[in-house]
Structure 1
Amino acid sequence: MVLFCRRLYGFYALAFSALMLTGCGQETNPKEMPPVKVGVVTLKAEVYENTMELPGRTSAYRTAEVRPQVGGIILERLFEEGSLVEANQSLYQIDSATYEAALKSAKATLALAESKEKRYKDLVENQAVSKLEYEQANAALLEAQAKYDMAKIDLEYTKVRAPISGRIGRSRVSEGALVSVNQAAELATIKQLDPIYVDVTQPVRQLLKSRRAHEQGRLQKVSDGSAKVQLTLEEGTEYPLTGALKFNEVNVDEGTASVTLRAIFPNPDENLLPGLFVHARLVGGVDNDAILAPQQGITRNFRGDPVAYVVNADNQVEQRDLDAVQTVGNRWLINSGLQAGDQLITEGLQHIKPGMQVEVQAAANVTLTKTSLE
């Protein structure tokens, strides 16, 4: 019995050893995972017109307050409220009776002074009067002439004239009103509306970026050397005429960290009135080699900085850190990090990591918007 058990144990041991050897001798051939498929867009350099849309308000090209230069009663208003007036046109007539009388008195005094000066001039040559007396007579003549000139000017000022050409507003006084030289309220206001100014505000950060781009040669000036401006009115309609940027304010608003830019627009039909809220689109320059990347291919790292993934020549994924300036439609304007010819991954981003081997196919999730010069 003992012998039988030993033989049975030996049989099972040999069988187990053979089974183990057979199992170890077999080679496993597991299936290799295929490369991940990703959709890419091949980037190319484009001509891009750099534009900025900024809020602004219209203001009159010139504004003049009509004020009296002599006091008196208003006898007549000589214009229609809201009409166009020409420079030097009479607007009000002030009662001139006292000024006419003053002019006559000054004229009489002047005549006496002229006669005395002429008589003393002859006498001083004959030494009948002293030189001092003649000089006093001459001074009296000059004083009389000055008073006559002032009386003449005061009489002329009884006609209140328009200082500039433009459209005049409502009159603040009527016939019979008493006006004075130093009164606080103006009689009326004239505004020149053609051309017209548009004052817009631009963040300082944006202004500095534009200047740096011009200095580095990434942006060229538009053909006429100045920045063109287009307007969108408050209700959404486009103003048909194009304006030009005139100057940048030299001071920065400390509360908003912005500067004021002033553009000038032709306004022949006076469709633009002072105080209108508008959106101004400024064309600051042209980038002839701009890189515009689809937004689907731009992500953020854990620090919040923009990054992109591209496929290199070995079909491997590379991560690029970007300097993304601004959005243009559904794309990002890229300062650095991407260049023409790069294959930007826009599909399958959730399945990739840097260094991974991928299979490239054309992206189906990107529809590119046109740039302003296309």
Structure 2
Amino acid sequence: MLSAPTPSRPVEEPTHDRAVGALLGAVAAAALVGAPTALAHRFTAAALAPGTPGRDEAALLAHLTRTALTATAPATNPPTALTTTAAAPPLTPANGPDAGVADPVHRAWVGVLGSLVLTATAPATQPELEHTTTNDPLGASWQALTRTPQPAHDPAQSSFACTHLVEAVWSAYHARGDLAAMYTGALAGARWGCSALPLQALRRLSEHTDPHALTSAALVALQGPHPDRWPQRPIRDRPEQRLPPFAVPHPLDPQVLLGNLDYLRTHPGSVDAAVSLCRTHPGDAPHLAGPDWVRVWLHDTPGKNSNLHFTLDEAAAAVAGLRAEGKRVLLHCWAGASRTPAVAARYASAALGAPPLASMTTLIHAVGGHLDNPTLSRAVAELSGLELPDPAAVLFPQGIPPRRPELRKVKVSG
């Protein structure tokens, strides 16, 4: 008899970000350093069809990563038991993510990755990984993760702590090559989350690999299969959940449309590319080539974005990059009312030289949006070195304008 699925945890919990970061981070690292695509292909094939890895190093990495993710999923604990560092139970040889892995170096590496997914913290020491052979990519990844300095977090100076991920990957690559970079991408992705992966690297990856397939594989490994939920099924696809398709031109760049998910689904010929700020599924935009569809891990709930400033800045840079290629771009989230104007304002400020606060006001007006999540507008301001303690009072001193009609009856995220 089939076992019952593991209880699902809210997708906004940081463990989900980090689990996807672990699996996607390995191949994003390969794209970042320009590794042969065959490595990414072999890793992806092993990640999507788990089995005995044999002697292939890329397949072994996929196997070890999936082992860690599967073992961190609680079979009987309540869904909230592993969502914070404080709540995580102690890992022991009997219940830790490395249980059942025979090779001591492999077991140590799996244990580190499992700890990172659960707590965003690596063990203080790991002797098995400190004393590997010279060319061992597992030891190199541990050393790159723990010895690469973490940048200061200063958004106004375009300095983000989570760029430690990229610096660690390059450190491993220069020390031990492609495989070490991929192992480091998995560990650093588990530390910082997929929201810390450079979107340009994900664009290069998507030339030959579907990021959604690995996202789905990571979350199924973590929480078990749920065919009725994202990522295995599109979000809000039932008729009663749909919104009227909506899009308006960006006031400062009419070749950027600001819209919602249902516009992406129903207007395939209206744009050349899309930057999606909400959860999506391959069925939402089968008309777009991989590099022309940038999918961003960004939630519309205060406190649920582990790398908020970096993510907003990367999303805006992705819009600018696509526009520099001459593409007409749809920038959207589910409703097009909160995340969309925030990233559009950052794009206006960073790429077009517009004042950030005035842009935010204009863009919320333009989309009939809201300020239910003030952390977004605060982060946009902070990226320009501005403080915005009370966004509503500063941006709308006469009162927040009404939402679009279809958004007024129920509280929706944007």
Q: Which has the higher strand share?
A: 1
Q: Which has the higher contact order (CA 8 A, sep 6+)?
A: 1
TM-score bin (small chain)? under 0.3
Give the TM-score normalised by structure 2.
Answer: 0.18
Give the TM-score normalised by structure 1.
Answer: 0.20
Q: Which has the higher helix share?
A: 2
Structure with greater Cα Rg:
1
